[in-house]
């Protein structure tokens, strides 16, 4: 059966009857106690594609109770690491076997192109496999130099119950940056996906069961941040919160979790610069800039939404980016050749347009786009590829996260000025530099205030390399060894050998 036939069959099924997403608590799918649900209308096709249970405090409490019991009785936390790894590897196999089903519903709910959804869902399997490898290779330290009668051992233990809260823009991928690493460490989890794109997370429950994950180890509650997310971040039985989303919500979570001193890991917003020097491979740089701003319709924390170009090449480089932008295929997300799909909601589209109009009113020049666009048969929940020059560093469109297919252009004369402009942001998620001079690249990398810095590329990522931000782009790290260790507590064991301890109380 061809990919096109599979896609047609899957899409027909999804559009004929909305997918029913339910809570997954203690190994069982359940509806909300009050029967409440929410519907997701596809941003690209304008039809209801999923109906999800809306959780309340009842379901959230039940999920946390289940995760707490599963952690405390050791059914997962005290399981040999090779057994945990075997389950995670099985989940990876099952993800690959269900890529098409996952990708179709993610495309319909999010508006992203089917090719991108396939890449994310299929690629997530590698994150699960890498997490499985970390489960088997984690170790502590021993100290045999503390004296003849003392042996010190440092061990690493799972932190406990983890609340996992994920966003709408990469629902399955970002879940896979968190959940398998927490499970590899021996933690138990309560997961809440965005109410906008809940279905692939709900589908994961089937795969976890089939892989043999014990009941209660991973629980999924669907619904809104209030009440589900807020209870997940404040509950006394939760030991850690890992969240990806906006900086504003991240700050709220930090405050609410602070009352019980929970550990909090945050991957938040970004206003990511790419700096282009005159000696760069300009053709490659322009293509990477175009990819960086339109990937996922710019609805990406790693979007390269601002470029900083040397004055000597600025005009020619912008012309090149505009020319490439005109060739990017915006359209029906279910078409294989589509590169950019729909905006997630009408409200978000209006927000994007508001940033553009405000910049134009302040004197910025629109080189391309700047308006809503319509796709034949699918309506107008799309936005044109947009390039804006004549901006200043104080404009909102330069400083704030637009989260859309909008690129702003600043210029510089010297390396110091370029670095200053790159760092002139409350964010610090990622940055990029383009130059054939290794010394220029290295100095930029060392001075850029960002958790990831790319040189002569953009958005290449690997499970081995941790990801996270500086400043208001977050705290803690995801994936890689450092992301795995976020879910571990460190404990020191001090053991005296023989009866060598000197008494403290002086006997008469």
* Residues that are catalytic: 267, 301
Which phi and psi angles does 87 have, rounded to 5°?
A: -65, -45
Say if residues 123 and 96 touch (Cβ distance below 8 Å): no
The pair of structure tokens assigned to 383 is 């936005």
Looking at residue 138, what DSSP letter applies? -
Say if residues 248 and 167 touch (Cβ distance below 8 Å): no
Give Cβ neighbours of residue 23 (< 8 Å, ≥ 6 apart): 29, 30, 31, 32, 53, 55, 59, 63, 219, 220, 221, 222
Q: What b/e readout covers 454-483, taking b as 16+ CB neighbours within 10 angstroms?
A: bbeebbeeebeebbbbbbbbbbbbbbbeeb
**Cα dist from 419 to 316, 434, 448, whole Å:** 22, 13, 7
Positive or negative CA dihedral for 17, 23, 27, 30? Answer: negative
Pairing of strands 273-276, 306-310: parallel
Say if residues 449 and 291 touch (Cβ distance below 8 Å): no
Positive or negative CA dihedral for 86, 88, 91, 93? Answer: negative
Q: What b/e readout covers 34-63, taking b as 16+ CB neighbours within 10 angstroms?
A: eeebbebbbbbbeeebbbbbbbbeebbebb
Long-range contacts of 103-106 (CB under 8 A, 24+ apart): 104/7, 104/10, 104/11, 104/14, 105/14, 105/19, 105/49, 105/50, 105/199, 105/200, 105/203, 106/171, 106/172, 106/197, 106/199, 106/200
SS3 52: strand
Determine the angle formed by the axes of helices 114-137 and 99-110, rounding to 10 degrees. 120
**Cα dist from 457 to 35, 230, 266, whole Å:** 49, 38, 25
Say if residues 54 and 172 touch (Cβ distance below 8 Å): no
DSSP-derived secondary structure for 421-434 = HHH-SSEESEEEEE
Which phi and psi angles does 357 have, rounded to 5°?
A: -65, -40
Bridge partners (DSSP) of residue 368 are 387
The H-assigned helical ranges of 277-399 are 282-294, 314-327, 346-361, 396-399
């Amino acid at each position: 059966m061809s990919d096109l036939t599979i896609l047609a069959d899957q899409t027909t099924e999804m559009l004929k009857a909305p997918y029913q997403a339910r809570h997954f608590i203690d190994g069982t799918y359940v509806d909300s106690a009050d029967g409440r649900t929410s519907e997701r209308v596809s941003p690209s096709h304008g039809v209801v594609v999923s109906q999800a249970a809306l959780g309340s405090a009842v379901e959230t409490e039940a999920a946390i109770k289940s995760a707490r019991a599963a952690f405390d009785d050791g059914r997962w936390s005290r399981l040999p690491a090779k057994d945990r790894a075997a389950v995670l590897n099985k989940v990876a196999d099952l993800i690959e076997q269900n890529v098409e089903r996952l990708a179709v519903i993610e495309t319909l709910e999010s508006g992203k192109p089917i090719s991108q959804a396939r890449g994310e869902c299929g690629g997530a399997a590698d994150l699960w496999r890498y997490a499985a490898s970390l489960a088997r290779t984690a170790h502590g330290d021993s100290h045999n130099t503390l004296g003849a009668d003392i042996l010190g051992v440092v061990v690493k233990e799972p932190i406990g119950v983890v609340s996992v809260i994920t966003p709408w823009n990469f629902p399955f991928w970002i879940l896979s940056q968190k959940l398998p690493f927490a499970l590899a460490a021996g933690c138990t989890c309560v997961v809440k996906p965005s109410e906008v794109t809940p279905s692939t997370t709900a589908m994961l429950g089937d795969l976890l069961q089939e892989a043999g994950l014990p009941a209660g180890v991973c629980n999924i509650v669907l619904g809104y941040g209030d009440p589900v997310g807020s209870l997940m971040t404040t509950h006394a039985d939760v030991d850690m919160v890992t969240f990806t989303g906006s900086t504003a919500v991240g700050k709220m979570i930090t405050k609410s979790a602070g009352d019980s001193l929970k550990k909090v890991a945050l991957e938040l917003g970004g206003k990511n610069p790419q700096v282009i020097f005159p000696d760069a491979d300009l053709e490659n740089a322009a293509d990477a800039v175009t990819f960086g701003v339109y990937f996922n319709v710019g609805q990406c924390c790693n979007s390269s939404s601002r470029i900083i170009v040397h004055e000597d090449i600025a005009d020619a480089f912008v012309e090149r980016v505009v020319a490439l932008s005109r060739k990017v295929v915006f359209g029906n997300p279910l078409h294989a050749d589509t590169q950019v799909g729909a905006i997630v909601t009408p409200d978000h589209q209006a927000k994007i347009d508001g940033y553009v109009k405000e910049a134009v009113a302040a004197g910025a020049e629109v080189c391309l786009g700047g308006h809503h666009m319509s796709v034949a048969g699918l309506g107008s929940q799309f936005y044109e590829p947009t390039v804006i020059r004549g901006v200043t560093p104080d404009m909102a469109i330069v400083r704030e996260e637009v989260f859309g297919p909008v690129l702003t252009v600043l210029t510089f004369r010297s390396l110091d000025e370029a670095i200053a402009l790159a760092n002139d942001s409350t964010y610090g998620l990622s940055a990029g530099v383009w130059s054939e001079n290794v010394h220029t690249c290295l100095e930029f990398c060392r001075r850029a205030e960002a958790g990831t810095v790319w040189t002569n590329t953009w958005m290449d990522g690997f499970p081995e390399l941790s990801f996270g931000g500086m400043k208001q782009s977050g705290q803690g790290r995801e994936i890689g060894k450092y992301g795995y260790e976020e879910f571990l507590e460190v404990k020191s064991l001090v053991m005296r050998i023989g009866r060598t301890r000197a008494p403290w109380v002086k006997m008469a």
